[in-house]
Structure 1
Amino acid sequence: MAIPRIAVGSTGEFAQPDALKAALAEFISVLIFVFAGEGSGVAFNKLTDDGSTTPAGLVAAALAHGFGLFVAVAIGANISGGHVNPAVTFGAFLGGHITLIRGIMYWIGQLLGAVVACLLLAFSTGMSTPAFSLSSGVGVWNAVVFEIVMTFGLVYTVYATAVDPKKGNIGIIAPIAIGLIVGANILAGGAFDGASMNPAVSFGPAVVSWSWDNHWVYWVGPLIGSAIAAFVYQIIFIDSNTHEQLPSTDF
């Protein structure tokens, strides 16, 4: 079954106040998220003499990213939908929930937010913001699969808790559910490739440190994972109307 609602949109959207406000909201949300997440690694390195790659550093990164994303999604939800991630925006576009033009605006805001966050970190701490990299013994295709699976889980969670029109009251917990899946995935994949799941999160440190080794992995994996999740959820669980909400008197 094809998804008929995919739309390019109009170039007039670049000048629409609501679209500009939404892109700005994405910029601010990503800035807050990346500053907290990347900053946790910088802080842990300072406190432990470059110990962010230890088990304790991994737990700290998972908590900081989970908490930060919970807030970033919540504060942007009523303005832009709280994507905070180019992969989420891509999945929303494939599902017909955002136009290509607005998606491009979101991407610009998200990428700029990540770069500004890393510049502020580098300036305020005097320390580097290291780019994402593969651990020893991890091949690029191993990392791509990791990113596909982890981003699939993230975008599937976004669809189930925030996008699905049948979500009902569960939509209230969407920001915390999204933050929790990212934190859990960092615990699972952080030791192997950093567990990005978010091209903007990878892009900011890469620009500031000007380190691009295997950077494509952090775009290809998340975008493929996002596409799979969007098609699976949109086609099977939304378009096919496989579930009918029970009347409130039945539970």
Structure 2
Amino acid sequence: MESPKQKQENEEPQNEVQQPQTHLIQLDVEEPNEPPVKRPAPKTFGDLTIIFIFETIGTGLFAYGIVASNGSDILIAAYLYAAIFLTCKFTGGHVNPAVSFSFYCDDTISSWTLRIYWTAQLLGAVGGAWIAYLILGVVTSPSIKSTNIEWMLADLCGEAFGTFMFVLFIHIQVHEQTRQTNNDIAGIAWIALALFFSRQLSSHSGGCLNPAMGVGLELFEAFWLNDTTKLANFWVFLFAPLFGAYMASIFYNSIYLPLLKK
């Protein structure tokens, strides 16, 4: 008869043989390698308040610049540079609902944060128009010169394609995989230059490429002059840039980035 100690010694080698076998079985199990789902970082109330304040100020500055520029592409690009320089550390320097919408489509910001951006941008555009009137005595807004089908189609295509190019340049600059320069000053200049050239694609509509400017400035002019006919074609300045921004996000993530990785 074996003693308990001898019985334990005889059973230990069996346990040592079984343990590696179990371990090997675990190693043979293939776990699915799924890419992590991108989730926007949650914003606190303080973060959203800062975004709202600075986005309102930045968009207001840009709106003032559009009115004060008298249509000069160089001055408009310069005012955009100033607006982004002022706000980029706090909000990313969107000052454009189409840009914010594109980053929402890119899963960079949440739907709630997008609403904060849009509210601030529209308020900033109206406020900037009001300040421009107080200082310069000028009331102006983007306008559609003709309502015939050919002209309206040109306006829609120009605003959409111009915004597409402008927002695509922004995506290229702000994402680390494709960034052209790590210098903030040069990066903002790159974006301002993109606006300058993108405006040349929408001469019919004045190169708005910004729903806050198109809708906000028209709202102020219609209210101040008591002329609601100014709002007849605001949908061109609203939907065409948003569509162009959406397509820019899709193109950047689905075509531009994959081609660079080949």
**Shorter-chain TM-score: what band?**
0.7 to 0.9
Please report how far the alpha carbon of residue 200 of structure 1 lies from its aligned counterpart in structure 2 after TM superposition: 0.7
Q: 2:205 aligns with which of 175, 182, 193?
A: 193
1:133 matched residue in structure 2: 143
Q: Which residue of 2 aligns with 1:243?
A: 261
Quick one: which amino acid aligns to residue 216 of structure 1? W
Identity over aligned pairs, percent: 23
Gap regions ≥5 residues in structure 2: 1-35, 223-229
Letter in 2 for 1:236: I
SS of the residue 1:78 aligns to: helix
Write the deviation string for residues 118-173 of structure 1: whole angstroms up to 9, x where unpaired: 011112223322x21123476222111001110001110110001x2224561423
Q: Are 1:181 and 2:191 an aligned pair?
A: no
Q: Which structure 1 residue ranges, 5 or more long, are not aligned?
A: 42-57, 245-251
Q: Which has the larger radius of gyration?
A: 2
CA distance in 1, matches of 2:179, 2:221: 43
Name the structure, 1 or 2, with higher relative contact order (CA <8 Å, separation 6+).
1
Quote the Cα distance in structure 2 between the aligned partners of 1:155 and 1:176: 14
Q: Is the 8 A contact 2:67 2:138 kept in 1?
A: no
Instruction: Tell me: CA distance 1:171–1:143, structure 2 relative to 1, closer, same or farther (3 Å).
Output: farther
Please give the residue correspondences for 1:18-167 in structure 2 after superposition, counting only pairs within 5 Å: 18-41=47-70, 58=71, 61-129=72-140, 131-136=141-146, 139-162=151-174, 164-167=175-178
TM-score, normalisation: structure 2: 0.75
Task: Tell me how many residue pairs correspond in the alignment.
Answer: 216
Distance in 1 separating the partners of 2:216 and 2:254: 33
CA distance in 2, matches of 1:150, 1:169: 21
Q: Is 1:233 the equivalent of 2:252?
A: yes
C-alpha RMSD of the superposition: 2.3
**2:6 corresponding residue in structure 1:** none
Residues 146 and 6 from structure 1, CA distance in 2 versus in 1: closer, same or farther, beyond 3 angstroms? farther
- Range 180-189 or range 144-153, more displaced: 180-189
Q: Tell me the distance in 2 between the aligned counterparts of 1:195 and 1:236.
A: 26
